[in-house]
Amino acid sequence: MRTPTLPALTRRAVLVSAGLAAPLLAARPAAAAASPAESFVDDNIRKGLDILRDKKLNTVQRRDQFETLLLGLVDVRRIALFTLGQYRRSAPPDDVEAFVNAFRNYATAAYQSYFAKYTNQTLKVTGSTQRTPTDFIVQTLLVDANSSQPPAEVDFRVRTDTGKPVLVDVAYQGIWLSLEQRDQFVAFLGQNNGNVRTLIAHLSELAVNLGKQT
């Protein structure tokens, strides 16, 4: 019997994941950030843009440096465990660790497959909301000067409870990526008897296919 796939993941969620890559590549007009969370987002936008515009780097070097930046900003493990939903508790520990690794490879490949499309866009930090002493939502607008479409709303969730700011989620046009992925992963596992190894194999296949696009 053919294993069910994740059609929504390969279309909607992967497109939403571009919402994370895209803002990291955009430049914000020079202005003082109003909070540490806003500074964290703003500073790393500039770093991502510098990597992409560095003509001294070849394609592989640019991709590797962007990956290093991305993995330094995002708490991939926290996100991966969240997306497993209730299956995190029932899956064997070895399977959970294998899933975290597969998710990291998949997420990195997804972001890298889209990043080149957003080098000419700009991002404006418009404010932030403090949910708890260590939990912030930074609001931004993604603007494409070559498009007549209105700016896209991109919100970053920043946590500081690990001792340093990290990104733990991104909302693109109101859709939170981690919530979207959790719903899809849980549905996929529900169709496959909770077999996390099946999901790992599928994510690995997606990562390979996305890697071919870069």
- Full-prediction pTM beyond 0.85? no
Domain assignment of residue 39, yes or no: yes
Domain span including residue 33: 7-211
**Continuous segment of H or E residues that includes residue 167:** strand 166-172
Token code pair at residue 37:
């969370």
Domain assignment of residue 191, yes or no: yes
pLDDT of residue 118: 62
Task: Give the count of alpha carbons within 13 A of 214, CB side only.
Answer: 23
pLDDT of residue 111: 72
pLDDT of residue 123: 78
Q: How many domains does the chain have?
A: 1
pLDDT of residue 51: 81
Q: What whole-number distance in Å separates Cα of residue 161 and Cα of residue 20?
A: 21
Phi (first) and psi of residue 213, to 5 degrees: -85, -10
Q: What whole-number distance in Å separates Cα of residue 68 and Cα of residue 157?
A: 20
Region of 51 please: left (phi>0), alpha (psi -120 to 50) or beta: alpha
Q: Vertex 180, ends 1 and 106: CA angle to 5°?
A: 65
Domain assignment of residue 1, yes or no: no
pLDDT of residue 97: 97
Alpha helices for the chain (secondary structure H) = 7-8, 14-24, 36-53, 59-73, 76-83, 87-90, 93-114, 177-190, 196-211
pLDDT of residue 38: 93
At 85, which CATH number?
Answer: 3.10.450.710
Show the low-confidence residues of the chain (pLDDT under 50): 1-4, 7-8, 10, 15, 19, 22-30, 32-33
